[in-house]
Structure 1
């Protein structure tokens, strides 16, 4: 299965003088047989080279075609805002009516919003106790806990896990939501990365959390609330008896 990728506004000029377009650092996709058709899964990393601006309202269009060139799947995935001098790790999944021989991702150019705080105010959301377990049939279970470094509670965070081989090559990924994350109370997450039966052995898992939504507003509101007092407390929510993953699907409507 071939995969073609186009960058964010690769043929577009910089939207404003002095601002650079978002950069597609890496991407991958896979196709597996599902119960109701073929499952197309993709993952990647987009970086923002601009120090003082958020990249907002970016959307990915995913198109899969069979060997004869017939389109068998098309979906649009709204992406979350990319912070200044930061990166967005994303993933998505869609069903195809027939097996795609080629999958192509294209991206709309970002709209730019000047950050309300200095770049150092947008600190990452700490992830702890991350664990990856091989389930078989190309699936991996990823669990862990995400914390909130700000005084204000995070209404909803997106946790994305990217799986890599021993050389660091991106193999696949998946995402899930964690709601109402308060300072000092890490919340557990669980997700399943599928579609890696044709990939090489997984050697490393990279997990990152971000605010949910195409706008920078949720992240800015957290940063404006100020940093919380650091804590080393363990998650207060009990572990799952039987961990079962779930994923954030690309058809979700983002504000």
Structure 2
């Protein structure tokens, strides 16, 4: 039999251990910063100076978190290093384990010799669903047509894989050469996108260098907004079933699985 004094001592020691364990801080999950995978910029003469266009792709390596309230800063310097153009561009939320294509345009009174894209660190928020729940918005019947002025007219259709309508989607077009190098891009908006009724989008990409050979047009669509809430609401509503038509073939007279099992037992 354990003496009462020893029992009390053990209880006190256990309470101290529990208090110490509960006071320990939980390990903080380390999140990887967003990465600017690609960027391209072009400068052309315009009526009021120079038109500066750019395109970029941000990637999010964190499979459980949205990168929100991201702001890209585009800076152009002349040949002497003086800043001639600067613009802050708020970006849409970067989905978990996904990427974000973005494009933009600004005006400069003097010609920049170099344009760079930087971005402020994202604010992270854990997603309510796994990364695979955030499906791509399918695009179809995409056409890219070069215009007489050197610009590219791009048309197509964008669909919604979810059961509820998407209020606003941003459609981005990235143009690439034969080697896959990013040349430039453009963006547009489509509203009230319902599953099975894809609306048409039309956008123009201008400002590419003379003689640029476009070999591929890459179209992506995403929800609009600096937070991932619109995308999350769609994912929580559930995706539309892929197969909704009943089979038309006659059923088997004998279940093959049952037949195989019975033959195996014999």
Please say if residues 137 and 197 of structure 1, whose CA atoms lie closer than 8 Å, have aligned partners that are also in contact: no
Instruction: Tell me what 1:235 maps to.
Output: none
Q: In structure 2, what is the Cα distance between the partners aligned to 1:195 and 1:49?
A: 31
2:133 equivalent in structure 1 = 121
1:43-54 alignment, distance < 5 Å? 43-54=55-66
Q: State how far apart, in whole Å, the 2-side matches of 1:179 and 1:190 are.
A: 13
Change (3 A) 1:23 1:39: same
Deviation of residue 66 (structure 1)?
1.9
| 1:109 and 2:121 aligned | yes
- Once the two structures are superposed, the pairs formed by residues 45-194 of structure 1 within 5 Å of their partners are 45-194=57-206
Q: Alpha-carbon deviations, 1:201-253, whole Å to 9, x = none?
A: 00000000000011000000011111123489xxxxxxxxxxxxxxxxxxxxx
**Residue in structure 1 matched with residue 239 of structure 2 by the alignment:** 227
Pairwise CA distance, 1:199: 5.7
Offset at residue 70 of structure 1 (A): 2.8
Q: 2:41 aligns with which of 20, 29, 39?
A: 29
Cα gap change, 1:28 to 1:34, in 2 (>3 Å): same
Deviation at 1:36, TM superposition (A): 1.9
The more displaced of 163-172 and 59-68 is 59-68
Task: Could you tell me which runs of 5 or more consecutive residues in structure 1 were left unpaired when the two chains were aligned.
Answer: 1-15, 233-255
1:107-128 superposed Cα distances (whole Å, 9 cap, x missing partner) = 1011111011111110000000
Shift of 1:138: 3.2
**1:216 aligns to what?**
228
Distance in 2 separating the partners of 1:68 and 1:137: 31
Per-residue deviation, residues 79-104 of structure 1 (Å, max 9, x unmatched): 11111110101111111111111212
Return the alpha-carbon distance in structure 2 between the equivalents of residues 227 and 145 of structure 1: 19
Q: Which has the higher strand share?
A: 1
* Structure with more of its chain in helix, by fraction: 2
User: In 2, distance between residues paired with 1:107 and 1:89?
Assistant: 13
TM, length-normalised to structure 2: 0.78
Is the 8 Å Cα contact of residues 76 and 114 (structure 2) preserved in structure 1?
yes
C-alpha RMSD of matched pairs (Å): 1.5
How many residues are paired up? 217
**Tell me, what secondary structure is at the counterpart of 1:220?**
helix
Task: State whether residues 139 and 197 of structure 1, in contact with CA within 8 Å, keep that contact through their aligned partners in structure 2.
Answer: no
Q: Tell whether the 8 Å contact from 2:143 to 2:156 is kept in structure 1 after alignment.
A: yes
Q: 1:38 aligns to what?
A: 50
CA distance in 1 between counterparts of 2:192 and 2:155 reads 18
Q: What is the deviation of 1:64?
A: 1.3
SS in 2 for 1:133: strand
- Asked which structure has the greater RCO (Cα within 8 Å, sep 6+), the reply is 1
In the superposition, the TM-score normalised over structure 1's length comes to: 0.82
